[in-house]
Amino acid sequence: LAKTTQPISMDSYEGQEVNITCSHNNIATNDYITWYQQFPSQGPRFIIQGYKTKVTNEVASLFIPADRKSSTLSLPRVSLSDTAVYYCLARGYNTDKLIFGTGTRLQVFP
Amino acid sequence: GAVVSQHPSWVICKSGTSVKIECRSLDFQATTMFWYRQFPKQSLMLMATSNEGSKATYEQGVEKDKFLINHASLTLSTLTVTSAHPEDSSFYICSAWGGQRDQPQHFGDGTRLSIL
């Protein structure tokens, strides 16, 4: 399974757009890139996933360049409630095993 | 969206007790369920993978006799922590996957286990 690397922490202010970049140099051809959000004392919550180019849903966008060696999660106009840990993972095609890295701790200030 | 229910959400028990945690997929059939543990301020660590009707596959370093996993149906998996000790205190989280490539895993809300 491809190892992912992302910043340990990020700070932002309410109303700003936040972009969290994840590096996955060894991603396999068929792996999906998946992002989860986790609040303290809760299980991770699925945000978005993609294979290539751009994916958008009601809460976020995911940008994946052609070489798929990195991806960027974009959160538009964050609020205080977006303060959480965000995990980027490469989801294996054959096993669906997820290996969690350190995640990015996002702190949103008023 | 897909819902995974985990029960209990919180349990405190004495050292030497066995504790069972249930994980249910409420609105889909889970061909595979996963169990994780998470220590404070750390990331999730995969403990084992279980497929319905099969023996669980444990990650390296996880004692299969200590952490018994049963996945008897497509909607229920259980994790039993046998003869629990204070070092087993942790946050245990399950996830479920329906087997379709374009669908992600969905997680329960975790069980806080405290062993006195």
Task: For residue range B91-108, list pLDDT tens digits in order.
Answer: 999 999 988 878 889 999
- Name which of B105, B111, B112 to mutate to probe chain A: the one with the most chain A Cβ atoms within 10 A of its Cβ: B105
Residue B86's nearest CA partner among B3, B21, B15 is B15
Tokens of B88: 């087993």
Tell me the pLDDT tens digit for each residue of B59-102.
Answer: 999 999 999 999 889 999 999 999 999 999 999 999 999 888 78
How are the residues of chain A apportioned to helix, strand and coil, as percentages rounded to the nearest 5? 5, 50, 50
Q: Compute the average pLDDT of residues B38-51.
A: 94
pLDDT at site B1: 65
What are the angstrom distances between the C-alpha of A42 and each of A29, A32, B40, B79?
Answer: 32, 24, 12, 18
Cβ–Cβ below 8 Å for B110 and A46: no
Query: Which amino acid does the sequence have at B109?
Result: D
pLDDT at site B53: 83
What are the angstrom distances between the C-alpha of B23 and each of B63, B73, B94?
Answer: 20, 11, 6
Q: Compute the average pLDDT of residues B3-16.
A: 96
What are the angstrom distances between the C-alpha of A29 and each of A66, A67, A68?
Answer: 12, 10, 9
Q: Compute the average pLDDT of residues B12-33.
A: 94
Size of interface A-B (CB pairs under 8 A): 55
Share of chain B above pLDDT 70, in %: 99
DSSP B18: -
Tokens of A56: 């958008």
pLDDT at site A30: 84
User: Any CB–CB contact under 8 A between A42 and chain B?
Assistant: yes
Closest-CA distance, A22 to chain B, in angstroms, reads 16
DSSP A5: B
B72: which residues sit within 8 A by CB, 6+ positions away?
A: B52, B53
B100: which residues sit within 8 A by CB, 6+ positions away?
A: none
Tell me the pLDDT tens digit for each residue of A80-94.
Answer: 999 999 999 988 766
Tokens of A40: 């303290």
Tokens of A11: 């700070």
Contacts of A102 in chain B (CB under 8 A): 43
Main-chain dihedrals φ then ψ at residue A82, nearest 5 degrees: -85, 0
Cβ–Cβ below 8 Å for B32 and A96: yes
User: Any CB–CB contact under 8 A between B49 and chain A?
Assistant: yes
